[in-house]
Structure 1
């Protein structure tokens, strides 16, 4: 978009998980805000305060330096009582009646917005958005979930000031992407609210085709406004393609980068790894490193820590969190990339795109119906599993090890070429361009003299 000087449309980008958040979705949020700024939009990012991430989820402060300097970041205080572990901050009610306190907390959480843990943020968030709009009229809201409370800003400014909006689903609200079941009952607050939001949205974005198709079947009357905007990889941070076998050879190094949740079949991988490493000459002395967070919070999951420790004698290790700026460096140490994902037709990891950019052999340790399989179909050095039995996983690990040692330079170059189409810029650019064509910057005459600043 070539916006005239002084007339660039103002986009309000709403994302709870914005830098320095370290969650997987932060990279999509960062790239989307930067993408709008790069195309000439004036961007204000509305997000949670830094303390939220530093205290509760863990943070990657290096990401803050990657935010386009033209973007104004407005931070809204966020309270997370259920994760407050400092007993000095607890009420007597919580300390002496924890179960009753929790039930009361849940009721309060969903009073204003039907989302446990995040509902109370609706009031502060919509008030902050109204203040931004009053100071500098907003032309478009792009709200990224989850949490889904981010959508409340889109609804509020649309209802009070007629601002169009885009819903960017990083996951799904009514759909369990792991088992494919509907999460909330028909007629529930969530079901009614989501329908209202989607029917009024200018566009609705989803990260993969299966999730998009599910919503198109559910809301056929607005199916034409739904689009797949895949995560993709960020070229400036993506791994350098390995176009030749490492020389001189050394024991192979397998590696995983990403958050390990309870849905990730790490135990199944470990069983297959144990079997393969004990019998394959290609894996003699090989190591497998897990980089990222063990669980969604700052403190690693004790169960996952123990699981890895139990296989330490077989070369499996936990390397800890990984700052974005070190991603290239760490990929360069790998010979094989491990894609270990939870089961689900609708599951796509953002890391799968980055993995393809490495041109390394990729072992998929996940249900073959996982949506990541669609991304990797045709990748020359892809080694998927048909199931998660130890023998199946071990065989895939062994084949990948042989490929790491013997794949030709031509095959590796084909892997590099395969990855080009998954650049994040190529995923975002068409949608940003389409929105730019349909937005007219608001003038003072468009801006109402008064604007409701309370949550609707």
Structure 2
């Protein structure tokens, strides 16, 4: 009788993981769960819970979604920058805060060339080796940023020949907003990345423009580079509204983090103009759900933008638990896709928006990578420019569609959106990895 193959053990490394309310946390959670659902035993290396509670904010509902086959190992992490309580500061920091800050940035990069996160390398590598000693790891998948996550993969490959996957949900040498290279070719960052890519079993990117940029930089690794796009999670995503029940006053919605890269002020100006020009939008409202900035405390600059435009029906509704996302989409008649400009920018919210089947207004530069995803969606209303008049026209067109679109159009929109379910993005790569590891 043949002995059944033991489950493959994957070590998944992600600084940000539930309950952390961090960039990329949904991708991290979904990837770990996808490996577990595919039959892998999964160990997750992530930062300690207190880091998220104190500095990024938490969404405890996310922890409930972690697959039972995934063991979470939390590695202590020291992050002093956002500490506002001066009683917790060292004497050196109290006496010379600017000098302390400069010294800390330099010292952070001694173990690894990444401010804030560099010192985590020692504990992260030690934890990875401990996991492997306890139970041999067959594959490491490390996601960034921060890019120090990659060091756990590299140390297991160097010492124990464990294959690894680099999952870029952003880029290290490329500024995805400006398209410029941000570290010189001979910098420590560039040399570290070249080493990581050279030995990687696979390298994943969230969209084709970012993949192509890296393929041109590392042509010898191009065949091992793949696009693993973000997608929506069907158990949490909005349910498409096929029967049009929209009536005036219309409610437009934005779901996601509002960062300083989001052209919020430009949107608000266009929104005010659209309400003046269109009777259908005169009493319409625009609701924003999510965090303001990437830390637990809201960005005061973004708060001020909302306060200036409350008379126009632009309202910040507050943070949103992941468990409440589906119900929140049911409030909306149309969606606002407001993104920072950049050929390499997609954003995870694009896919969730597509799942809704609702009219979507794009408030971002037309060459943004999100346009490649949206193209072909029947209820997409893009703009050729971010000038107020152009955005106002797109808002008015979306308002008309919210009131007038028929079931066949909405059904086609829902059908288009279904192709972006996250499992469709992850499954092919996970199946290919499992096959290669079983050889």
* Smaller-chain TM-score bracket: over 0.9
Structure 2 Cα separation of the partners of residues 262 and 4 of structure 1: 56
The match for 1:76 is 75
Matching residue of 1:277: 275
Q: Distance in 1 between matches of 2:4 and 2:395?
A: 55
Match of 2:328 in 1: 330
1:182 maps to: 181
2:290 maps to what in 1? 292
Q: Distance in 2 between matches of 1:103 and 1:268?
A: 35
Q: Which residue of 1 aligns with 2:61?
A: 62
Please say if 1:303 is aligned against 2:301: yes
Q: Distance in 1 between matches of 2:368 and 2:20?
A: 26
CA contact (8 A) 1:258 1:293 kept: yes
Q: CA deviation at 1:284?
A: 2.4
| Correspondence 1:25-174 to 2 at 5 A | 25-174=24-173
Runs of 4+ in 1 over 4 A off after TM superposition: 3-6
Residues 238-281 of structure 1 deviation map (CA, whole Å, 9 limit, x = unaligned)? 1010112215x231000001111111100000000011112211
Structure 1 residues 274 and 5: CA distance shift in structure 2, 3 A = farther
Matched position secondary structure for 1:72:
strand
Q: Does the aligned pair in 2 maintain the 1:20–1:63 contact within 8 Å?
A: yes
Q: Which residue of 1 aligns with 2:250?
A: 252
Q: Is the 8 A contact 1:24 1:258 kept in 2?
A: no
1:422 aligned counterpart, secondary structure: coil
Q: How far apart in 1 are the matches of 2:4 and 2:127?
A: 27
Q: CA deviation at 1:24?
A: 3.6
**CA separation in 1, counterparts of 2:159 and 2:106?**
27
Write the distance in 2 (CA, Å) between the matches of 1:4 and 1:363. Answer: 56
Residue segments in structure 2 that go unaligned for 5+ positions in a row: none
Secondary structure class of the residue paired with 1:339: strand
CA contact 1:139–1:440 (8 Å) conserved in 2: no
CA, structure 1 residues 251+133, in 2 after alignment: closer, same or farther (shift >3 Å)?
same
Q: Tell me which residue corresponds to 2:379.
A: 381
1:260-271 alignment to 2 at 5 Å? 260-271=258-269
Provide the secondary structure at the position in 2 that maps to 1:238: coil
Q: Number of matched residues?
A: 438
Higher RCO (CA-CA < 8 Å; seq separation 6+): 1
1:9 aligns with 2:8: yes
Q: Secondary structure at the match of 1:85?
A: coil
For 1:394, which of 392, 395, 416 is the aligned residue?
A: 392
**Unaligned stretches of 5+ residues in structure 1:** 442-456
Match of 2:344, SS?
A: coil
3-state DSSP class of the match of 2:425?
A: helix
How far, CA to CA, are the matches of 1:399 and 1:290 in structure 2? 20
Paired with 1:92 and 1:169, the residues of 2 have a C-alpha distance of: 38
Q: Say whether the 8 Å CA contact 1:122–1:149 is kept in structure 2.
A: yes
Aligned to 1:22: 21
The superposition leaves residues 105-126 of structure 1 with CA deviations (integer Å, 9 ceiling, x where unpaired) of 0111000000000000000111
C-alpha RMSD over aligned residues: 1.2
1:23, distance to aligned residue in structure 2 (A) = 2.2
* Preserved contact between residue 234 and residue 424 of structure 1 (Cα < 8 Å): yes
Instruction: Say which is worse superposed, 18-27 or 141-150, in terms of deviation.
Output: 18-27
Local SS of the residue matching 1:81: coil
- Partner residue, 2:360: 362
Q: Distance in 2 between matches of 1:46 and 1:5?
A: 28
1:376-426 deviation digits (Å, cap 9, x = unpaired): 001001001111111111111000000000011111101001011101000
1:4/1:190 Cα in 2 relative to 1: closer, same or farther (>3 Å)? Answer: farther
State the secondary structure of the residue aligned to 1:47: strand
Secondary structure of 2:165's aligned partner: strand
Equivalent residues of 2:23, 2:294 under 8 A apart: no
Cα distance, 1:6 vs structure 2: 6.3
Q: Distance in 2 between matches of 1:213 and 1:440?
A: 30
The offset of 1:440, in angstroms, is 4.0
Q: Distance in 1 between matches of 2:119 and 2:84?
A: 19
Could you report, residue by residue, the CA deviation over 1:343-365 in whole angstroms, capped at 9, with x for unpaired residues?
Answer: 00000010001101100000000
Give 1:351's aligned residue: 349
Do 2:173 and 2:189's aligned partners in 1 also have CA atoms closer than 8 Å?
Answer: yes
Who is 1:435 aligned against?
433
Match for residue 421 of structure 2?
Answer: 423
Alignment partners' CA distance in 2, 1:216 and 1:70: 34
User: Which whole-Å CA distance do the structure 2 matches of 1:85 and 1:440 have between them?
Assistant: 51
Q: Deviations over 1:2-37 (max 9, x none)?
A: x97561110000000110111241110001000000
